[in-house]
Amino acid sequence: MIRHLLADDDLTPAEQSAVLDLAARMKADRFGFTPLAGPRSVAVLFDKQSLRTRISFDAGIAELGGHPLVVDTQVTHFGRGETLADAGRVLSRYVAAIVLRTHGDDRIAEVAAHATVPVVNALTDGYHPCQLLADLLTVREHCGGTAGRTLAYVGDAANNLAHSYLLAGATAGMHVRVAGPAGFQPDPGVLGRAEKIAAGTGGSVRALVDPVEAVRDADVVATDTWTSMGQEDDGLDRITPFLPYQVNTALLGHARSDVKVLHCLPAHRDEEITSEVLDGPHSVVFDQAENRLHAQKALLTFLLEASSS
């Protein structure tokens, strides 16, 4: 069976843990794993902008011995009528895996439904599962593990990162609290899926409005932009309701004294997070960014192996 990663809960707790173990081994022996030697090619397609995802997949595929094909879809037929189903079928004839950053989750689901190689979600409106593998690797490194740790995500609790924190954090056995203003709360369906996962891993999930309640005694505090790609012109006030959710020194004062701060980047400095915090002693954001590379190398290796067995 072909294995995809479309949302965080496509990996079981055991599989997620195995990918993170492999990522740690790949980080320790950066050029020692070449499962794509041949080389086999991987298509990495972008409907939206990117810096980290683009470069970390490009470099990571090369480090695995493979050939990365990084393509902005504006130069393809994506926007002028070629169906995603046909694109999935065609690309499967050329490459070992397809990585796609796009808008609606229905778009990546259509590619995956017709692809005969693994499809990886490199960010959709609904989820950012590659980011979460990097974040969990970072939490392992800085907090000694994930199970039982409390992670608070504050800001736009309706966005892709909030959903991925709920699902991937629950899978890792974490206590996940997401807090955002009314109108920016997580999708109830995603929350329900995360609750079910948490019941099996010993973790827990909560959706809150109060940012102080969310970060109280947290081991990890995470945030993300208040305006995700594609939301720039949605007519909503994406500043005023979010001001109490800014990750600043005062808010961090409610967390554990050794709290670690995550931000997937790019940051809007002094909006969702102050420069003082981002550049301060609690911040692990550049380790987090580096871990995209290691986590994605491990993920691709895992999906290719799992799909061939």
- Choosing among ligand CP, ligand NVA, none, which partner's interface includes residue 138 (Cβ < 5 to 8 Å by kind)? none
- Asked if 8 interacts with ligand NVA (CB under 6 A), we say no
275: burial class by Cβ within 10 Å (0-12, 13-18, 19+)? exposed
# of chain residues touching ligand NVA (CB under 6 A): 9
Site for ligand NVA in 149-178 (CB under 6 A): 159-161
State yes or no: residue 224 binds ligand NVA (CB under 6 A): yes
284 is a site residue for ligand CP (CB under 6 A): no
25 marked as part of a ligand binding site: no
Does 264 interact with ligand CP (rule: CB under 6 A)? yes
The token pair at 247 is 């990750």
Distance CA 218, CA 163 (A): 18
Closer CB to ligand CP, 70 or 212, in the complex: 70
Asked if 224 is an active-site residue, the reply is yes
**Which spans in the chain are helix H?**
13-28, 52-63, 84-92, 105-114, 129-143, 160-171, 188-201, 211-215, 249-252, 275-278, 285-308
Contact 87, 94 (CB under 8 A): no
Check 16, 131, 185, 246 and give the catalytic one: 131
Residue 224 marked ligand-binding: yes
Told to check if 159 binds ligand CP by CB under 6 A, we report no
- State which residue, 94 or 286, has the beta carbon closest to ligand NVA: 286
- At which residue do the structure tokens 């778009």 appear? 107
**By the rule CB under 6 A, 51 interacts with ligand CP:** yes
What contacts 111, CB < 8 A, 6 or more positions away?
84, 85, 87, 88, 98, 100, 119
Q: Residue 177 in 3-state DSSP? A: strand
Residue 43 β-bridge partners: 69, 98
Which tokens is 226 given?
Answer: 């208040």
Nearer to ligand CP, 131 or 291 (CB): 131
**Of 177 and 263, which has the nearer Cβ to ligand NVA?**
263
Q: Does 278 bind ligand CP (CB under 6 A)?
A: no
Residue from 3, 52, 114, 193 that binds ligand CP (CB under 6 A)? 52
**Residues belonging to the active site:** 101, 128, 131, 224, 264, 292
Which residues lie near ligand CP (CB under 6 A)? 50-53, 123, 131, 264-266
